Amino acid sequence: MRTDSPHNSLNIKRFSQIRNIYNVNDQLKLLFYPIIMQLETALKSRIIDILASNHHCYLHDIFANCLNGYKDIIPHNSKLRRKRRDRIKNKYRIEGKLYNAMSRNIGNDTINYYVKRNQEVPIWAIFEFITLGTFGYFVDLLNLDIRKKLEESIGIIDNQDLKMMDNYSHDDTYKKYTFICTHLFLLNDLRDAVAHNKIIFDCRFRSANSSEAVKYQLRRKFHMKQPVTFNSIVDYFTLTSFYQYKLGINVKYIYAEQHQLHDILLSFLNHEGESNFDKAFGQDAFKKLHQINFKI
């Protein structure tokens, strides 16, 4: 819960409290950084496998046959026409980012291996040098068929998710199979805050929007009684745990991270009191955390 606004500011009376909050924030960054990096690598590998299995390995082919999700938008009103134009603009923007990533790292052994041999640089070599945010936009611009394959290969959707997304999309086909796009933008907010040494404990870093369908999906997967809002760092842990499990990470490591987060939250509660804890993490933080299990 954001504590940088007057109506939700923490009650700070001693310098020791500031030092403790700083330490808790650092502990959270140490917890989340390897998790985010692990997920970023695994998700990039998964989309590379899908592209390569369909012989989409090089940029010119990917731009023509994969990053054409704008074609899934049927422009039968002015709103959808604008949406289609925006997607086309974003396609060229991402094209520029990918070529820039390649040119900036042309001296790197990975890129230089292909350049010296006068060969096209494959997408997996370029992915090493793009940010999670750029990757998120890349996935968002993929056509419906590839996004479907990606979500199905990871296992993040089931029939109930599809039914819920049908209700949410209101027959706008392009909105289907977009769970992973929203997830990536949420993860990127956290990743950037951690990487740039920002405050993360109260989620003031959040800029990505999440649909009710996405919020309900995670709540349903873990059979949670409390809503998932992404106003608490526990909600982000719920999301990372879900992906770790679906990507095959041993649950004993995820449970160890869960216990670590519990200890961090408990330390904050013991030092700062219940009022400050509720403002920073929400009244239901421990209840949510304890409901994360892997019978999903």
Taking the C-alpha atoms of residue 186 and residue 178, their distance in angstroms, rounded to an integer, is 13
Q: Within 10 A of 193 (CB to CB), how many other CB atoms are there?
A: 21
Structure confidence at residue 163 (pLDDT): 77
How confident is the model at residue 211, as a pLDDT?
79
> What pLDDT was estimated at residue 11?
86
Cβ count within 10 A of residue 97: 17
Token code pair at residue 24: 């808790």
The whole-number pLDDT of residue 188 equals 96
Query: Are 62 and 68 within 8 A, CB to CB?
Result: no
Written as six digits, the tokens of 3 are 């504590």
Do 164 and 213 touch, CB atoms closer than 8 A?
yes
Long-range contacts of 33-41 (CB under 8 A, 24+ apart): 33/194, 33/195, 35/240, 35/244, 35/257, 36/132, 36/187, 36/190, 36/191, 36/194, 36/240, 38/244, 38/249, 39/187, 39/240, 39/243, 39/244, 39/247, 40/132, 40/135, 40/187, 40/191
Taking residue 35's Cβ as centre, other Cβ atoms within 10 Å add up to: 23
Angle between the 15-53 and 179-195 helix axes, to the nearest 10 degrees? 140
Return the pLDDT at 210: 82
Question: Cβ distance 199 to 181 under 8 Å?
Answer: no
Residue pLDDT tens, the chain, 296 long: 666 655 578 888 888 888 999 999 999 999 999 999 999 999 999 999 999 998 899 999 999 999 999 999 988 889 889 999 999 999 999 999 999 999 999 999 999 999 999 999 999 999 999 999 999 999 999 999 999 999 999 999 888 887 777 666 655 666 778 899 999 999 999 999 999 999 999 999 999 888 788 888 899 999 999 999 999 999 999 999 999 999 999 999 999 999 999 999 999 999 999 999 999 999 999 999 999 998 76
Sequence-separated (6 or more) residues with CB below 8 Å from residue 269: 277
pLDDT at 295: 74
Task: Provide the pLDDT for residue 213.
Answer: 82
